Structure 1
Amino acid sequence: MNTLIIYCHPYEKSFNHAVLTAVKTNLQKQNQQYQVIDLYADHFNPVYDKEELRLFHSGGTHDPLVKKYLQLLQSATTVIFITPLWWNSIPGMLKGFIDKVMKPGEGYTTSAFGLHGELTNIKHTYVLTTSTAPKFYLRLFNGSAIKRIFINQTLKQLGMKDRHWLHFGGITMSKPPRREKYLHHLTSYHFKCS
């Protein structure tokens, strides 16, 4: 498997789900193998409990999904995140995925200089987001927090390379032709999958 899609939206009739379908269509046209982690459909629990936290520093877990997800990440060369932006950031479900799955010794190691990402096998990273706010608002008034923190800090710290952000803003007020144009763009977008 080369490509791993990490999908974070609970509603199958959402625009995010249409984005997921467009990306899958794209990869199928390119004859690219892929796997989807659907956090909501998997009923992933993003919350640490006492036992999970006790096991954290040894890199352990008692959640079988954490083990599965980490193995999928370690075998991927391309990762595509598909998520809405809620209150200017990623949803708690996706934040919990990062918190719980990225284990010391597996997702990263620590040194006197900080974190060292262990997911260097991921050569290409794409973050596809949607929001009610238009993109110019996120860039000018929000300081592109998603790009500055999640993409250029968190994902970089984990070792993920060649990071790209594709965003569809103003989703609530958008008309069907604009949505269709964006979905068409995603079906022909060149995702690097090697």
Structure 2
Amino acid sequence: MSRVTIIYCHPYTKSFNHAVLESVVANMKAGSTAFDLLDLHADGFQPYYDAEELRLYHSGGTHDPLVSRYLDALQHSDGLIVITPIWWNGVPGMLKGFVDKVMKEGEGLTHTVSSTGIHGCLKNLKHAYVLTTSTSPTWYFRLMLGNGIRRIFINKTLKQIGVKRGTWVNLGGISNSSTQKRLRHLDRVRSMRFTF
């Protein structure tokens, strides 16, 4: 049986992103897929280094129990689902801080560094799904704003930690979207076939 880590990054429980989370959870339960939910805001995750955390970075250590729990979930999962809004053409600061703090350098952690670059250790994560919402239409984000979620977050950041494949699903134009469009999107998420 597959095990999945869900990373959820939104502070407001009445947001559309939260409805996407509920649809993903319903999908996992319907498929009897085991999952760990990392709700960054609800957990009170501190998305920045203090001096002690930074001192421990190169040894792969941490003094933040959430970092340890999050890293353990990633190491014992077959796949990843990230649910986040797109803010200012990229992921929110909370999610960037998650990457900064949880992705630990060292053998058996998330990556190693050599003279030829970063080499991912989380090869157990066979597929990542990044489910986003954006104010800009998806086509505009792809063609005019640099397509940062696909080009940077999926194809660079996630690949550098070892994720083999990535799928991006976005509901663009969220601010002006109709109720019908939002409901169709939630139906799509509930019935998606996540493969890991």
Q: For the superposition of Structure 1 and Structure 2, which TM-score range results when normalised by the shorter chain?
A: over 0.9
> Which residue does 1:5 correspond to in 2?
6
SS of residue matched to 1:57: helix
Q: How does 1:182-193 map to 2 (within 5 A)?
A: 182-193=185-196
Letter in 2 for 1:35: D
Find out whether 1:175 has 2:167 as its counterpart.
Answer: no
SS of residue matched to 1:183: helix
> Which residue does 1:160 correspond to in 2?
163
> Which residue does 2:34 correspond to in 1?
33
Letter in 2 for 1:149: I
Letter in 2 for 1:24: V
> Which residue does 1:125 correspond to in 2?
128
SS of residue matched to 2:82: strand
Sequence identity of aligned pairs in percent?
Answer: 55
Deviation at 1:144, TM superposition (A): 0.5
> Which residue does 1:51 correspond to in 2?
52
RMSD of aligned Cα (Å): 0.8
Deviation at 1:34, TM superposition (A): 1.1
* TM-score normalised to structure 1 length: 0.98
Deviation at 1:25, TM superposition (A): 0.7
Provide structure 1 residue ranges, at least 5 long, that are not aligned to the other structure: none
> Which residue does 1:107 correspond to in 2?
110
Letter in 1 for 2:62: T
> Which residue does 1:136 correspond to in 2?
139
SS of residue matched to 2:176: coil
Structure 1 runs, 4 residues or longer, greater than 4 Å off: none
> Which residue does 1:147 correspond to in 2?
150
Deviation at 1:98, TM superposition (A): 0.3
SS of residue matched to 2:59: coil
Provide structure 2 residue ranges, at least 5 long, that are not aligned to the other structure: none
Letter in 1 for 2:88: W
Letter in 1 for 2:155: N
Letter in 1 for 2:173: G
* TM-score normalised to structure 2 length: 0.97
Find out whether 1:18 has 2:23 as its counterpart.
Answer: no
Letter in 1 for 2:154: I
The C-alpha deviation readout for 1:42-99, integer Å capped at 9, x for no partner, is 0000011111111111111110100110000000001000000000000000000000
State the distance in 2 between where 1:58 and 1:29 align: 41
Deviation at 1:164, TM superposition (A): 0.5
